[in-house]
Amino acid sequence: MDYSFLLVIAAIMLSTKILGLASERVHMPQVVGALIAGLLIGPSVFGIVGESDFLTKTAEIGVILLMFTAGLDTNMQDLKNTGISALVIAAIGVVVPFIGGAACYLAFYNDAADSLNMLKAAFIGVVLTATSVSITVETLREMGKLKSKVGTAIMGAAVIDDVLGIIVLTVLTGFTDSSVNPVMVFVRIIAFFVFIGVVGFIVRKIFARFEHLWGEHRRIAIYALAFCFILSYCAEGFFGIADITGAYFAGLILCDLSDTRQYAAKKMNVMGYMLFSPIFFASIGIKTDLSGFGGSLVAFAIALTVVAIVTKIIGCGLGARLTGFGSYDSMSIGLGMVSRGEVALIVAQKGAQAGLVSEKMFPAIVLMVIVTTLVTPLLLKVGMKKQTPDNTELPPERQGSLPRTDYI
């Protein structure tokens, strides 16, 4: 037996932690440091770690845990309380970047002879729909605007944004097999959501009983994780839908059970933080091949990054304007939704596995994620200098609770 995989794990854990801490020092999420760590230890730079079956499968577990935790951390009551404005902001903030991303891909790589050309373009569009507001939260908190009306709208829209992105991804993954009848794809998707509804109702009752019997007991977290893996397998194996969709809905099913949610999320965070999440983010950097990154690919990367920034500002800003925010505050909401992160990388990973996102695209996607993360705090600080009633924090008795968005 070859034990070199132990050195691979050690190299990934040490490099992602060291560079993750360095990222935090300059007020950036640790995800950025983990991506850079993967680039440095991967074939593109030092060649310490290469792609392997072990790395691929371990990274897949990391993705599943990330999405399960995201589902657990979704507060359904807060989601309802955000109202129609957050829904409109999120919806238009998904549609505009989706169209922009697909158009950007077609402008550079439109191959009429490729039967999957439009599906590949659509996957790039889905990559741009995601929002990661962890950096926005810290910036708004620093500026004293987190619990303002603008801050609350950004938080609510970000949560709904992820749900809508997962639904779009669910539809697209159903079309990855070109031999499948489109009607059957929609039948499978509808069947999946019916399955989720039935299973969710039954499992929620079971876990409510477990919670009553055992409270915060280790077996609760084990049963919850097993349920997550089973639902992930069912999504991929029976319905042809991405496993992360099953993982996300597994979290949503359990998110209203307070004891189960808190205890399971705590255990998942430890497991993900220690091993699986660093391996996933490092694996993205490892598979990012910079050797062919030049010419048209550099132009595409720049164009994709510009489109990612502009379409979020336009889409979310328009949604905010339509729901009664002033022009200045609408622009601020758009700026707050610019940052991409873990969900964009997860979608890109799923696209690569389906053969719809080529590995030569990864440098462009990673660059887009890093740049949007870097520029968001700067854009917010410039774009929210002016004090308005809607970007001023409410008094404590009117603040209510905010949805959690710190998935990583």
Amino acid at 216: E
pLDDT band at 271 (very low <50, low <70, confident <90, very high): confident
The answer to whether residue 14 is domain-embedded is yes
The answer to whether residue 404 is domain-embedded is no
Note the pLDDT of residue 404: 40
The answer to whether residue 406 is domain-embedded is no
The answer to whether residue 360 is domain-embedded is yes
Q: Assess whether pLDDT exceeds 50 at residue 210.
A: yes
- d(C-alpha 382, C-alpha 199), whole Å: 48
Note the pLDDT of residue 217: 66
The answer to whether residue 36 is domain-embedded is yes
pLDDT band at 396 (very low <50, low <70, confident <90, very high): low
DSSP codes, 49-106: S---HHHHHHHHHHHHHHHHHHHHT--HHHHHHTHHHHHHHHHHHHHHHHHHHHHHHH
The count of structural domains within the chain is 1
* Range among 23-32, 264-273, 331-340 rated most confident: 331-340
The answer to whether residue 408 is domain-embedded is no
The answer to whether residue 203 is domain-embedded is yes
Range of the domain at 246: 4-399
Asked if 30 contacts 20 with a C-beta cutoff of 8 angstroms, the reply is: yes
Residue 403 has what DSSP assignment? -
pLDDT band at 49 (very low <50, low <70, confident <90, very high): very high
- When pLDDT is averaged across residues 295-303 and rounded to a whole number, the result is 91
Asked if 241 contacts 192 with a C-beta cutoff of 8 angstroms, the reply is: yes
Give the SS3 label for residue 370: helix
Q: Which residues of 385-408 are buried (b: 16+ CB within 10 A; e: fewer)?
A: eeebebbebeeeeeeeebbbbebb
CATH number at residue 28: 1.20.1530.20
Residue in the block written with tokens 């950004």: 154
pLDDT in tens, 276-294: 989 998 998 898 888 777 7
The answer to whether residue 405 is domain-embedded is no
The alpha carbon of 85 is separated from its chain's Cα centroid by a whole number of angstroms, namely 21
DSSP codes, 235-260: HHHHH---HHHHHHHHHHHHTT-HHH
